[in-house]
Chain A
């Protein structure tokens, strides 16, 4: 048999699965509506809905990861008002936060703008937030600010943080493969300005938890 490229096959399989998740979400929406808002099953349905959404977002992350790693992703940078971008992220992820009794907010200067690939950064922020959902005690805060060379997007939580060694955050649960961080790193790297290229940094958050920072190079 001819030798096949297994990563391409996996990527298209993920794509198929992602589309099926999409169809399931549509069908669930129909069920939800036919039952009405007051239905006793609603809490369970919302749980299923949030899990499916997370699954969908994860598949999207893996597809981007595949393309970034195989050099098949073309960056589409544009200028964004950071307040709007972060508000979008909080809006999209709020239902999941509420379902987990966590507070999700953003802080940023109302005039701050940044230049980056919106789809990629949306996937990076959602990956980081899903990760933070598992460790945060009560809240997660997104922030954005500028220094001379970079736009910095932070995802902070009030969980145990990256304590002892950097594996700790990952080792709490067995199913975490560190793929999310790798994805964030590749995505940051893909953003370049001149010779400067983006990167990620792990540190302690203001609330004693973990802080993931994504550095994206900008026009000085």
Chain B
């Protein structure tokens, strides 16, 4: 194994325990890293990942009260905050490894189990970076969304390095899905399952069936995956998608609630629960899910106006059947303030915020306040700061104002 040159590589170390952090930092320095950034929690890590690029990320699974290492990984990989060419090494205790390995959709490039010696970490890093080098062209193509290239490059790597067969097949399967070549994806996942019952291959098969609209087959596989692996919460998410397509909206909602009980800190899952609950007219559950999403959004990659507006919308739907209680009103005001602070320069967001605010006022029978808001809205439309209300909205407000 060739010794890697770490001196030109940038490292990010994420660890909440001071003792381990100092030790690992020293180890990295001894390996030759000259650029080492430190984060004590996931939220800080996201800020750093937003502003800088890193080649190696060494993250503990257990990060205290906030997000854990796996949630951090899911968020940054999903939002492409770190490229596929970067290496993510997860530090775990022996007992948390199943939770990490259970999360199949986003996996780190490697694991190292505490306690580890300096020599062991160096060896792990060397190997991981060597693998990354071998897969460089594949990962580069993935980062550029050139899926056909990624497939052909993966074939070359697989022939040259048989031990990378599993990794390459998985990448190829996912690329076929991206290219909407579902039959090819299915054939590949089936081939893998024949020799090894890998959970990711079963998951890939289920996704293929879902995308091919063979919903019963997808449902059966996902149920099996949930039985086999209790930490595999992504299977719940996809089962909810299947149920939605089958028009079993209430069942989809309870599936997502089960997923959230297992893993409550995933903002996208909370948003989906909110969306489905609104479809069902269950504005109470929707509000709860969106309120949690608002709480999670601040330090996440998904800090968009949608999260906050959806929370306001769910409260407005509660108000449809009567005035809000004081606690709900406080929630509304606090989220509205966040929109004012962060997203008021987006004309669409501004218009929606006005709309929901007026809904609340009308429910409270505060017609004059609603009128004032409407006037501000119209004047903002004049200065192009807000999107104009629709004909439907204007009619609705006119009748509420009694004019």
Q: Roughly how many angstroms separate A78 CA and B114 CA in the complex, as a whole number?
A: 21
Tell me, rounded to whole Å, the shortest Cβ–Cβ distance linking A67 to chain B.
9
Residue B123 is within 8 A (CB to CB) of chain A in the complex: yes
Interface-facing stretch out of B91-99, B279-287, B307-315: B91-99
Q: Roughly how many angstroms separate A92 CA and B165 CA in the complex, as a whole number?
A: 25
Residue B166 is within 8 A (CB to CB) of chain A in the complex: yes
Residues from 55 to 82 in A contacting B, C-beta threshold 8 Å: 56, 60, 63, 73-74, 76-81
Residue B195 is within 8 A (CB to CB) of chain A in the complex: yes
User: B-side binding surface: helix, strand, loop or mixed?
Assistant: helix
Q: Please determine whether A79 and B123 come into contact, CB atoms closer than 8 angstroms.
A: no
From B127, B161, B196, contact of A77 by CB (8 A): B196
Contacts A29-B118, A115-B195 aside, 4 further interface pairs with beta carbons under 8 A come to: A22-B115, A79-B163, A91-B120, A111-B162
Chain B residues in the interface with A (C-beta under 8 A): 19-20, 23, 93-95, 97-98, 101-102, 113-115, 117-120, 123, 127, 161-163, 165-166, 194-199, 228-229, 231
Residue A131 is within 8 A (CB to CB) of chain B in the complex: no
5 nearest A-B residue pairs (beta carbon): A81-B163, A22-B115, A219-B195, A25-B115, A79-B166
Instruction: Please give the number of chain A residues whose Cβ is less than 8 angstroms from any Cβ of chain B in the complex.
Output: 30
Q: Roughly how many angstroms separate A92 CA and B95 CA in the complex, as a whole number?
A: 20
B residues in contact with A92, CB < 8 Å: 120
7 pairs, A vs B, C-beta closer than 8 Å: A22-B93, A60-B94, A74-B98, A78-B166, A80-B163, A115-B196, A119-B97
Q: Please determine whether B101 and A76 come into contact, CB atoms closer than 8 angstroms.
A: yes
**Most chain-B CB neighbours within 10 Å: which of A21, A79, A88?**
A79
User: A-side binding surface: helix, strand, loop or mixed?
Assistant: helix
Q: Roughly how many angstroms separate A138 CA and B102 CA in the complex, as a whole number?
A: 42
B residues in contact with A88, CB < 8 Å: 123
Residue A26 is within 8 A (CB to CB) of chain B in the complex: yes
B residues in contact with A81, CB < 8 Å: 161-163
Q: Please determine whether B229 and A74 come into contact, CB atoms closer than 8 angstroms.
A: yes
B residues in contact with A30, CB < 8 Å: 23
A residues in contact with B118, CB < 8 Å: 29
Q: Please determine whether B120 and A113 come into contact, CB atoms closer than 8 angstroms.
A: no
Q: Roughly how many angstroms separate A76 CA and B197 CA in the complex, as a whole number?
A: 9
**Most chain-B CB neighbours within 10 Å: which of A30, A76, A88?**
A76
Chain A residues in the interface with B (C-beta under 8 A): 15, 18-19, 21-23, 25-26, 29-30, 56, 60, 63, 73-74, 76-81, 84, 88, 91-92, 111, 113, 115, 119, 219
Q: Roughly how many angstroms separate A18 CA and B92 CA in the complex, as a whole number?
A: 13
Q: Please determine whether B198 and A77 come into contact, CB atoms closer than 8 angstroms.
A: yes
A residues in contact with B196, CB < 8 Å: 77-79, 115, 219
Q: Please determine whether B166 and A91 come into contact, CB atoms closer than 8 angstroms.
A: no
Q: Please determine whether B120 and A29 come into contact, CB atoms closer than 8 angstroms.
A: no
Q: Please determine whether B94 and A63 come into contact, CB atoms closer than 8 angstroms.
A: yes
Q: Please determine whether A113 and B162 come into contact, CB atoms closer than 8 angstroms.
A: yes
Q: Roughly how many angstroms separate A219 CA and B9 CA in the complex, as a whole number?
A: 40
Q: Roughly how many angstroms separate A78 CA and B199 CA in the complex, as a whole number?
A: 11
**Most chain-A CB neighbours within 10 Å: which of B95, B113, B114, B115?**
B115
Q: Please determine whether B115 and A84 come into contact, CB atoms closer than 8 angstroms.
A: no
Q: Roughly how many angstroms separate A91 CA and B20 CA in the complex, as a whole number?
A: 23
From A56, A111, A113, contact of B115 by CB (8 A): A56
From A18, A77, A113, A115, contact of B94 by CB (8 A): A18
Tell me, rounded to whole Å, the shortest Cβ–Cβ distance linking A11 to chain B.
9
Q: Please determine whether B195 and A26 come into contact, CB atoms closer than 8 angstroms.
A: no
A residues in contact with B115, CB < 8 Å: 21-23, 25-26, 56
- Considering the complex, give the chain B residue whose CB is closest to the CB of A88: B123
Q: Knowing A26-B115, A219-B196 touch, does A74 contact B97 (C-beta < 8 A)?
A: no
Q: Roughly how many angstroms separate A60 CA and B95 CA in the complex, as a whole number?
A: 9
